Each structure stands twice: as C-alpha cells, then as structure tokens.
Amino acid sequence: MKDRKDILEVPGGERKVLLHTCCAPCSSAIIECMLQNGITPLVYYCNPNIWPEEEYLIRKNECTRYANSLGLEIVDEDYDHNSWLEHMKGLENEPERGSRCLECFRLRLASAARYAHEHGYKVITTTLASSRWKSLDQINRAGEEAAALYDDVVWWDRNWRKGGLQERRGELIREYGFYNQQYCGCEFSFSALHLTHSNTPQDI
C-alpha cells in the first residue's frame, strides 16, 4: 500500500473533518488517506435518496463495517425516503447529472452542514465527489451553499479523484469484499440502469 502522507491540506489546518459518506466503496480510499494524513473523519451517513430500503441498509451496514474496522465514529442520520421523494417532485424524469441530482446533493450536504454546526465540526466534505459518474461542479456548488448557511462551517472542495485514490479504492473494495452497487441510489437511477443495460456503470 502506498503511503499518501502530506498530500492533504484541510482548510484552516483542521484535524477533524465531517465526511458525508455515501457508501463504503466511495469512502474507502478517502478515509484511509485522511488517516494517513493525521485527519480524523466523522463518518456522516445521510442518504435518504437510496431505494429500496433493503439497498439502503446494505450500503449503510457496509459503511458501518468499514468505520468500525478503523475505530471511527459513524453518525446514522434518519432514513426518510418519502420526504426525499417529496423534495424531488417534478424532477423525476431528469437525467443523472441533471437538476434532480443537484437537489439531491443539496439536501444531503445541508444536513451535513447542520450537523457540523451543531457538533463543533468546522470543515465538511463528501465522498460523493470520488465518483466519476457524478458532476464535481454540482457537488461543489451544493457543498458551498450548504456551508454558507453557517458562519462556522466551511466546504472542503478537495478533488478526491486525484492522488491515486481511484486505484486504491479498487484495491480496498477487493480487500474488504465490499458490496459494490450498480446504480447511484434512487429509484429513478435504478430504472434508468435497467432501461440501458449497455451503459451499466461498473463502479458508481
């Protein structure tokens, strides 16, 4: 395993970061890299977008398994998929990377920023940004907006696709035998996947 020391610069030199986490595969190399750099992430699991609930629980349990193996704290936010659906009304037919996804990022990162504000975390970031299937611009926009809601919270716009983390992610998925989902999370992404088998993403 390559040591990735001294490659991270956290805003304000903070050593504690609230890491919004979408799944174990996306968080694996990011968390490892943070720990190698002396940064302790709070694993913040807030993903009411995931459907069905069985899938949500599988992804959450995998995140919990990984956090526990590293002795990290994990925060398990409410799973209120009906309220997520209500929030997405009118955007159901949007393509991935469209305005539904921006709203989905906004909702989850606003929750992360609120938790950070209430629990003394000054820096937030997300594992969502590690996926090449998602728009970095949308994630950064949603993150900036979420942090701007509080004077004491900043958004860390680190590009987690760089620094060899994509390759390390693949190694960790194999090492831990993580469940690796084949669709982004909501029912709309699930339907889109099953309508276009030829576009099946191998890692989301």
Segment 73 to 102, residues that bind ligand SF4, using CB under 6 A: 96, 100-101
Closest distance to ligand SF4 from the beta carbon of 184 (Å): 3
Nearer to ligand SF4, 12 or 52 (CB): 52
What's the chain look like in SS3? CCCCCCCCCCHHHCCEEEEECCCHHHHHHHHHHHHHCCCEEEEEECCCCCCCHHHHHHHHHHHHHHHHHCCCCEEECCCCHHHHHHHCCCCCCCCCCCHHHHHHHHHHHHHHHHHHHHHCCCEEEEHHHHCCCCCHHHHHHHHHHHHCCCCCCEECCCCCCCCCHHHHHHHHHHHHCCCCCCCCCCHHHHHHHHHCHHHCCCCC
Q: Which of 28, 49, 135, 140 binds ligand SF4 (CB under 6 A)?
A: 49
Q: Which of 30, 63, 184, 193 binds ligand SF4 (CB under 6 A)?
A: 184
Nearer to ligand SF4, 56 or 66 (CB): 56
Distance from C-alpha of 40 to C-alpha of 23, rounded to nearest angstrom = 18
Binding of ligand SF4 by 189 (CB under 6 A) = yes
Closest distance to ligand SF4 from the beta carbon of 187 (Å): 8
Nearer to ligand SF4, 95 or 164 (CB): 95
Distance from C-alpha of 120 to C-alpha of 130, rounded to nearest angstrom = 25
Closest distance to ligand SF4 from the beta carbon of 54 (Å): 16
Nearer to ligand SF4, 32 or 96 (CB): 96
Q: Which of 43, 146, 186, 193 binds ligand SF4 (CB under 6 A)?
A: 186
Q: Which of 30, 104, 154, 172 binds ligand SF4 (CB under 6 A)?
A: 104
Which residues contact ligand SF4 by CB under 6 A? 49, 96, 100-101, 104, 184-186, 188-189
